[in-house]
Amino acid sequence: MANNPNLRVRPKGTTGLVHDVTPANAGWTYVGFALHKLNEGQVAGGDAGANELCLVLVSGKARISVDGVDLGVIGERMSPFEGAPWAVYVPLGSEWVADATTAVELAVCAAPGGGNYTAQVIPPGRHPRITRGKGANVRHVYNIMPEDDGAANSLLVVEVITPQGNTSSYPPHKHDQDNLPHESQLEETYFHRLNPPQGFAMQRVYTDDRSLDEALVIEDGDVTLVPKGYHPVATTAGYDLYYLNVMAGPKRVWKFHNAPEHEWLLK
């Protein structure tokens, strides 16, 4: 069967390492995504190895160090629906440690490292909030590591808040062809949170020829894998949707191709 039935990854448990998406278990080449849920006083850490990392404080506060250098206690919001994120860039070959000073959700975004980049804190407000779309297609974007910041070898990281009942990543677009300047090839993960958490959203991942065509019910804490194809999201009434995107591919460029039959929505 051509379809991949494993595009939605549910969290494993409620504490500790609840997500661990790697190129090996995702069946692709570039993107990794992990999520640690820590109680106050708990510690997580690791070695970037051949990757570069972006540590995103989805919620809560933690003292972060990279290669033994204390970067201080970072984090501000206690929910991903409460404003812009704090994050830390970790270059390849570096070790990192996060010591939770409150309950923490810490995302570890990974992609192949390279170049001469150094560890740094990425504070909220470095990239101002952007509102995209109109009407029921409005969503709010917090860039963390966009392509125009020159701060990484391959990682692209962004957060999006989609208000209740709205669509997002819409009109449907894709970025699965290494065909610049028209389109870039990028794998992508979505880490989803819902407010209130008992809600659900929908995401479709499909290609033009429908060799991949999956409609997914998204619940709080799920990860969606997008190896290729279009990947629109729709929220349900009463429930706002947060998602954290990680993208990477052969070139650090985000150039997408809209589904032509739906481009009229942009007019």
DSSP string spanning 165-226?
T-EES-S-EE-EEEETTTEEE-EEEEEEEEESTT-EEEEEEE-TTSSSEEEEEEETT-EEEE
pLDDT by residue for the chain (267 residues), tens digit each?
A: 234 458 999 999 999 999 999 999 999 999 999 999 999 999 999 999 999 999 999 999 999 999 999 999 999 999 999 999 999 999 999 999 999 999 999 999 999 999 999 999 999 989 999 999 999 999 999 999 999 998 899 999 999 999 999 999 999 999 999 999 999 999 999 999 999 999 999 999 999 999 999 999 999 999 999 999 999 999 999 999 999 999 999 999 999 999 999 999 988
What is the reported pLDDT for 2? 37
Per DSSP, 143 falls in state E
Backbone angles phi, psi at 34, to 5 degrees: -130, 155
Range of the domain at 36: 8-266
Number of domains into which the chain is organized: 1
On whether residue 3 sits in a domain, the answer given is no
pLDDT of residue 5: 54
CATH number at residue 45: 2.60.120.10
Within a domain: 229: yes
Instruction: Give the per-residue pLDDT at 198.
Output: 98
Question: Is it true that the peptide bond before 146 is cis, omega within 30 degrees of 0?
Answer: no
Starting at the edge strand found earlier in the chain, the sheet holding 62-66 runs 43-47, 95-100, 62-66, 69-74
Q: Are strands 176-179 and 183-185 parallel, antiparallel or unpaired?
A: antiparallel
Sequence-distant (≥ 6) Cβ neighbours of residue 1 within 8 angstroms = none
Q: What are phi and psi of 170, to 5 degrees?
A: -145, 140
Please report the pLDDT score of residue 125 as a whole number: 86
Would 1 be classed as within a structural domain?
no
Residue 238 inside a domain? The answer is yes
Q: Going by DSSP bridges, is the β-strand pair 167-168/176-179 parallel, antiparallel, or unpaired?
A: unpaired
Q: Does residue 106 lie in a domain region?
A: yes
In angstroms, the CA 98 to CA 214 distance is: 36
In a domain, 2, yes or no: no
